[in-house]
Amino acid sequence: MADHPRFGPAGVPPLFRILKATLADVPKLLREEGLDAFEYQAVRWGTKPQMKMEDAEKLALEANKNDVLLSLHGSYFINFCGEKAIVEASKKRLIACAVAAEWMKAYVVVFHPGFYGKKLKREALASCAKALKETVVGMKGLGIEDVKIGPEVMGKHAQLGSLDEVLSLCEKVEQTQPVIDWAHLHARDKGRLRTADDFRRIVDEIEKRLGAEVVKDLHCHFTKIEFTSKGERRHHILDEKRYGPDFRMLAKVIAEYHLKPVIISESPILDLDAIKMRDIVKKELMN
C-alpha cells in the first residue's frame, strides 16, 4: 500500500489540540513534522458514523494534498465472540466505521476481534470468522470494496487476537489484512520480542501464511509496553529503557527485508515517538 515506510500517530497529538487545530488541519501539521500517516480514532462509536461526511471528506482532501496515508481505528465496543445480539451490534459498528473510512479514503479499519468469554478458543475464532464474513458482505452491499478490515493482535490473554488467530482470520475472510501491534504481541507472549531474530520470525510467519505482498505492506502499531501475567498493562514511551520491545530491532528487519510498513505510534507522546521511529528507520536504511 505504502511506497515507503510511513509513520504517524494514533489520534490527534496533544500539541495540535492546544493549537486548537481542526481535524482538517491535522495532515498539514503532521507533514510539517515530517510524518505521513494518521490513524483516526473512532473508538467510542456506536452503530452509526459519529462524524459528518463533509468533515471526513475534508480530511481526505487535506490528507491527499499533504501525502498523509489515513487509517481508522474502529469501536472498542466490538465483540465478535459474544452472544448473538452483541455480534449483530458489533457488525453494525464495524460497518459504520467502514462507511466513514470510505468517506475519508482510509485504507483500513483496525478493530479488536473480541473476548473468549466462556467459549473455547476454537469456538470463539469460528464465531468471529463467521461474523466477519457477514460484515464484508454488508460492506460490499454498500459498495465499500476499497476499505479493508484489520483484526489487531491483542495484548491480553482473555482477548481473541493471538498472532495465529489474526492470521487465521485473514486466511479465511476476504477484504481483511492483519494489524500487527508489536507491543501487544510482546506482552501477550511474555516479552518474546528481544532480538532482531524474534522480529524476523514473526515477519517470516506472516509471509509464509499470507504472502510477500501482505508482509511488505503491514499496518503496525508500536510503543513500549508494561505487562503482567495476564498480558498488557500500560503503554510507555520509547525512551523508557526498562520496557520492551526495542524498536531498533524491528527497524533492522524493516531495512533488511525492504519492508514498507505503516507504523502507527500508540506511545503516550504519539507524534514525538513517531518521529523517533522514523529517524531510527532512516538510519538503518542508510547502513
The predicted-structure confidence for 209-220, as pLDDT tens digits, reads as follows 999 999 999 999
In whole angstroms, what separates CA 105 from the centre of its chain?
16
Kindly tell me if the per-residue pLDDT of 97 is higher than 90: yes
Mean pLDDT, residues 205-233: 97
Mean pLDDT, residues 4-27: 95
pLDDT at 253: 98
Kindly tell me if the per-residue pLDDT of 112 is higher than 80: yes
Tell me which of 16-25, 49-58, 135-144, 254-263 is least confident: 16-25
Query: For 87, left (φ over 0), alpha (ψ -120 to 50), or beta?
Result: alpha
Structural domains for the chain: 6-286 (3.20.20.150)
pLDDT at 117: 92
pLDDT of 18-73, one tens digit each?
Answer: 989 999 999 999 999 999 999 999 999 999 999 999 999 999 999 999 999 999 99
136 backbone dihedrals φ, ψ, rounded to 5°: -65, -40
DSSP class of 111: E
Under the banding of pLDDT at 50, 70 and 90, the label for residue 275 is very high
pLDDT at 287: 83
- C-alpha 14/C-alpha 131 separation (Å) is 36
pLDDT at 138: 97
Other Cβ atoms closer than 10 A to 155: 23
Kindly tell me if the per-residue pLDDT of 3 is higher than 90: no
What percent of the chain is modeled with pLDDT above 70?
99
Place of cell 501475567: 229
Kindly tell me if the per-residue pLDDT of 223 is higher than 80: yes
pLDDT at 2: 66
Dihedral angle of Cα 70, 71, 75, 81, to the nearest 10 degrees:
170
Kindly tell me if the per-residue pLDDT of 1 is higher than 70: no
pLDDT at 154: 98
Evaluate whether 221 touches 180 at the Cβ level (below 8 Å). Answer: yes
pLDDT at 87: 97
Mean pLDDT, residues 151-175: 97
Mean pLDDT of the chain: 97
**pTM to 2 decimals?**
0.97
